[in-house]
Amino acid sequence: LQEPESPEASQFRLAAGQVPEVPFGLSTSPAVLSHYGVAANTVTLFRRVDNDRRDLDINSKDVDAEKMSRFIRINELRLVTEYNPVTAIGVMQSTLQLHLLLITDKMSPKHPDRMRRYRVAAELFKGKILFVLVDSNLKSNERTVSFFKLKKSQLPALAIFHVPDETQDVLTLDEVSVERIQDFCNRFLQ
């Protein structure tokens, strides 16, 4: 931003408060803006998972804190991104062409342990495979589950998908382990 006390800066600070899990920074330094190739009055989201970035021009008068936080929620990708109607756009626009989906019941008592292992595996393939969590309980995810020809009785399952040619493979699991995830991904990559 050009002015740290501008209305845009105020809206930016409000957006930062609405998305506390994302680190925010504000710069008015021409050197910093030049280094990142950022135009003035722009929100730039740096995504570590695929080393990509998204820019939102906030010069328009209709860009407020709500629109900024929506932009961030849509485009932010984490080590493991939960798939839902808001994140779907960011997942589909990822520069990573290989997506690994853990399709599971988030209400299961085993869910926290499954996620811990899934995140460990995601670290191993960072920058190569986008790790996505699909909650089988969400009505909006029923199409995703059926796309991989899975039934609820077959879950949890891993589904790997290569975006350009839609090549896919599915592995049903009794137990989610780092080793099984690693083997499944490596076999598909080969």
> Could you give the number of structural domains in the chain?
2
The model's pTM is 0.80
Percent of the chain whose predicted confidence (pLDDT) is above 90: 62
Which among 185, 71, 184, 54 has a CA at the least distance from the CA of 125?
A: 185
Pairing of strands 130-135, 98-104: parallel
Shared domain check, 107 and 167: yes
Final residue in a domain of this structure, among 75, 96, 115: 75
Interatomic CA distance for residues 28 and 26, integer angstroms: 7
Shared domain check, 181 and 133: yes
Interatomic CA distance for residues 148 and 86, integer angstroms: 21
Structural domain range at position 178: 80-189
The pLDDT of residue 83: 94
122 confidence band (pLDDT: 50, 70, 90): very high
5-22: pLDDT as tens digits: 888 889 999 999 999 889
Mean pLDDT of the chain: 91
Shared domain check, 20 and 111: no
